[in-house]
Amino acid sequence: MKRRETVMLMVVGVVMAGCRAQAPMAELKMEEKAQPGLGWRAPNGRKTEAEPTAWLDQFDDEGMRRAVGEAVASSPDLKAAAARMAQAEARAVRAGAPRFPTSGLGLRTNEDWRQVVAGPGAVIRQQQSVYALNVDISWEVDVWGRVRNNANAGRANAEAAADDYAAARLSLAANTARAWCNLLEAEWQTRLGENTVASFRRNLATVDSNFDKGVPGVTALDVRFARSNLASAEANLENRKRGRDESRRVLEALMGRYPAGDVATSGRLPTLRGEIPAGLPSTLLLRRPDIAAAERRTAAALQQAKASRKALLPTFRLTGDARTISEDLAELIDTDKIIKSFVKSMTQTIFQGGALRADVKLADAQVEELAQRYASVALTAFREVETALAAGVYLEGQIAALRKFAEESKEAEKLAVSQYERGLTGILNVLESQRRAFDSQSGLIRAENQRLLNRIDLCLALGGGF
């Protein structure tokens, strides 16, 4: 009867151990003042339950989508993240292995010499092979759930690694999109710099000609001013070329290419196709992979803390052994010759110098650390969304003002050139009006790119797919 109960206990244990380990969700603990409301607080943080999806479609640029696709397919960093995910999955399998019985099979052969009577008065020595087969099975009965807690912790850590991979993939997509926009801005700034140099070169030619002709009011000082402006514009152009070259190589490296500096672009800053739904603050916790990873690590630490406490309790183990010895290899599996043994044992640690209780304190401290990090990651996510939402409003206002600035500066430049040609103003007013016109255009290009980068930041902060 006892043997049947023991066998049933082992069968039930194996079946239960075969179930997939799963660590419960960890609670997000935040102070009341840090908790979000029902909607976003930013100026354009409209309350909406729509979820952000496929954010690359917000940008009217097929080249950007191709660049992101190439980066995701070829990036060594992302492949390294995938390898880390595979490692974590293997560790999870190892952590769950103690749920199952361990078994071993041994086969041994010995060569013995023995004396054999060959006839009356005749004894000979004969070599004889002896075979031994041994099968042993051992299983720790998870009475307290310690083994299950360790398996749950391993599975939660594997899930955290999968979330890390998703976060790395999303971050790579966002960084590639940012690099694409930065390169386009650099190309526009370079073209603007080339136009500036060409304009200042024409100014210098005009001033030189007027000075040589002895036009009244045109002095050597005017020539010097025109030359210094041209030299400054040429230096600025070289700096912009350097920035364009660096932007190309950054983008190529993100795409997994050799940074040769010859990547081609669409030649224009992409336009935005409307607003992106921000969703609700509560759903952000479910979308962002970095938050999910922090939660899974906290859940794993909770399971490990439980296992540490249960390590103070007795351990129960079932051990079985079956062996047979035969001179004939074919008779090793003869059931009549099998010798069986079955042992039940209990082990209770008495003294380890306080190591086990120190493990409990260590695990509790790790839980607290990861729980606070979880809250910090969530708070950072809320900040990033709110900041990006607010920045979108301010950038729209800034761009509107810069467009007005650029229009007025262009008209002022035309007026200054017209008055200079009629002898109504000096060259300094012309140079200053041209400088302001080019500065306003440069600032407008920079602000329009900042709006694109802010939209990418918002998409990254909101999580979801791309």
Q: What is the pLDDT of residues 343-364, one digit of tens each?
A: 556 666 665 667 888 888 998 9
Check residue 1 and give its pLDDT.
39
| Mean of pLDDT values over 68-94 | 94
Query: How far is the C-alpha of 72 from the C-alpha of 169, rounded, in Å?
Result: 7
Check residue 15 and give its pLDDT.
34
| pLDDT higher than 70, residue 262 | yes
Query: Which overall architecture, per CATH, does domain 23-100+143-313+355-462 show?
Result: Up-down Bundle (1.20)
| Mean of pLDDT values over 360-384 | 91
How many C-beta atoms surround the C-beta of residue 44 within 10 A?
12
Q: What is the pLDDT of residues 274-314, one digit of tens each?
A: 777 766 677 777 788 999 999 999 999 999 999 999 888 88
Residue that is written with structure tokens 């609700």 in the block: 280
Check residue 315 and give its pLDDT.
84
Determine whether 291 is exposed, middle or buried from the number of CB atoms within 10 Å of its CB (0-12, 13-18, 19+): buried
Candidates 188, 185, 180, 182; CA nearest to 69 is: 180
| Token couple for 74 | 């070829």
| Token couple for 394 | 């301010």
How many C-beta atoms surround the C-beta of residue 102 within 10 A?
12
Query: How far is the C-alpha of 170 from the C-alpha of 456, rounded, in Å?
Result: 11
Residue that is written with structure tokens 């759930």 in the block: 145
Check residue 232 and give its pLDDT.
94
Check residue 243 and give its pLDDT.
96
Q: Which residues of 391-406 are buried (b: 16+ CB within 10 A; e: fewer)?
A: bbeebeebbeebeebb
Q: What is the pLDDT of residues 178-189, one digit of tens each?
A: 999 999 999 999
Check residue 275 and give its pLDDT.
76
| pLDDT higher than 70, residue 225 | yes
Query: Which overall architecture, per CATH, does domain 101-141+314-347 show?
Result: Single Sheet (2.20)
Check residue 394 and give its pLDDT.
94
Sheet (strand 339-347) strand order: 102-119, 122-141, 315-326, 339-347
438, 439, 443, 446 alpha-carbon torsion, rounded to 10°: 70
Check residue 266 and give its pLDDT.
83
Q: 179 Cβ partners below 8 Å, 6+ apart?
A: 67, 247, 250, 251, 254
CB of 69 within 8 A of CB of 173? no
| pLDDT higher than 80, residue 140 | yes
Query: How far is the C-alpha of 224 from the C-alpha of 443, rounded, in Å?
Result: 27
Check residue 351 and give its pLDDT.
59
Computed from CA positions of residues 258, 262, 263, 269, in that sequence, does the dihedral angle turn out positive or negative? positive
Candidates 117, 167, 448; CA nearest to 296 is: 167
CB of 366 within 8 A of CB of 304? yes
Do 101-141+314-347 and 23-100+143-313+355-462 have the same topology in CATH? no
Q: Which stretch of DSSP H or E encloses residue 400?
A: helix 355-421
Higher pLDDT, 126 or 271: 271
Check residue 314 and give its pLDDT.
86
Candidates 390, 397, 398, 168; CA nearest to 288 is: 168
Query: How far is the C-alpha of 72 from the C-alpha of 173, rounded, in Å?
Result: 7
Residue that is written with structure tokens 């514009």 in the block: 233
Q: What is the pLDDT of residues 4-57, one digit of tens each?
A: 333 333 333 333 333 445 778 877 877 777 777 666 777 765 545 556 668 888
CA distances from 186 to 72, 199, 229, 244, 296 (A): 24, 20, 22, 5, 41
| Mean of pLDDT values over 335-350 | 58
Tell me the range of 135-149, 161-175, 208-222, 321-335 where mean pLDDT is highest. Answer: 161-175
Q: Name the β-bridge partners of 311.
A: none
DSSP string covering 246-290: HHHHHHHHHTTS---S-----SSPPPB-S------HHHHHHH-HH
Q: What is the pLDDT of residues 387-442, one digit of tens each?
A: 998 999 999 999 999 999 999 999 999 999 888 888 888 888 988 999 999 999 99
Longest dimension (CA), the chain: 149
Q: Which stretch of DSSP H or E encloses residue 45?
A: none
Q: What is the pLDDT of residues 232-261, one digit of tens each?
A: 999 999 999 999 999 999 999 999 999 999
Phi, psi of 224 (to 5 degrees): -60, -40
Residue boundaries of the structural domains of the chain: 23-100+143-313+355-462, 101-141+314-347
